[in-house]
Amino acid sequence: MPLGELFSIALNTLRANKLRATLTLSGIVIGVFSIIAIMTLLNALQAGIEGGLSELGSNTFQVQKFPAIQIGGPGGNRKFRNRPDITYEQGLRLIDKATVYKYISLEDYVYQKTFKHRDITTNPNNSVGGVMPEYLECNNRAVQFGRFITETDILNNSNVAVIGMDVVEKLFPNVNPIGQYMIIENNEFKIIGVFEKKGEGFGQSNDNFALLPITTMQQIYGKNNRSINVAIQAPSKETFNESIENVVSVMRSIRKDKPGEADSFEIFSNDSLIGQVNSFTKYFKYGAGFISFIAMLAAGIGIMNIMLVSVTERTKEIGIRKAIGAKRSSILTQFLIEAIILCQLGGIIGIILGVVTGNILGIYLSSPVVIPYDWVIIGLVVCSVVGIVFGVYPAYKAAKLDPIDALRYE
Residue that is last in its domain, among 254, 269, 284: 269
- 48 and 133 inside one domain: no
Q: What are phi and psi of 107, to 5 degrees?
A: -135, 135
Of the candidates 86, 61, 107, 59, the one whose C-alpha atom is nearest the C-alpha of residue 209 is: 107
- 156 and 215 inside one domain: yes
Contacts of 14 (CB under 8 A, 6+ apart): 21, 338, 341, 342
How are the residues of the chain apportioned to helix, strand and coil, as percentages rounded to the nearest 5? 55, 15, 30
What is d(CA 406, CA 410) in angstroms, rounded to the nearest whole number?
A: 9
One-letter amino acid of 355: V
What is d(CA 386, CA 295) in angstroms, rounded to the nearest whole number?
A: 11
Buried b (16+ CB within 10 A) or exposed e, 188-218: ebebbbbbeebeebeeebbbbbbbbbbbbbb
Structural domain span for residue 31: 3-52+275-408
- 40 and 22 inside one domain: yes
What is d(CA 318, CA 321) in angstroms, rounded to the nearest whole number?
A: 5
Residue that is last in its domain, among 249, 269, 289: 269
pLDDT tens for each residue of the chain, 410 residues long: 566 665 676 667 667 667 767 777 777 788 788 888 888 887 777 776 666 555 555 688 989 998 866 555 444 567 788 889 999 999 999 999 999 999 999 999 999 999 999 899 999 999 999 999 999 988 888 999 999 999 999 999 999 999 999 999 999 998 999 999 999 989 999 999 999 988 765 556 788 999 999 999 999 998 878 899 999 999 988 898 899 999 999 999 999 999 988 999 988 876 666 666 666 677 777 777 777 777 777 777 777 777 777 777 667 777 777 777 777 777 777 777 777 887 888 888 888 998 998 888 877 766 778 888 888 888 888 888 887 777 777 777 777 766 666 555 55
Q: How many domains does the chain divide into? A: 2
- 404 and 282 inside one domain: yes
What is d(CA 79, CA 265) in angstroms, rounded to the nearest whole number?
A: 11
- 200 and 167 inside one domain: yes
Contacts of 121 (CB under 8 A, 6+ apart): 114, 115
DSSP 36-74: HHHHHHHHHHHHHHHHHHTTSPTTEEEEESS-SS--S-H
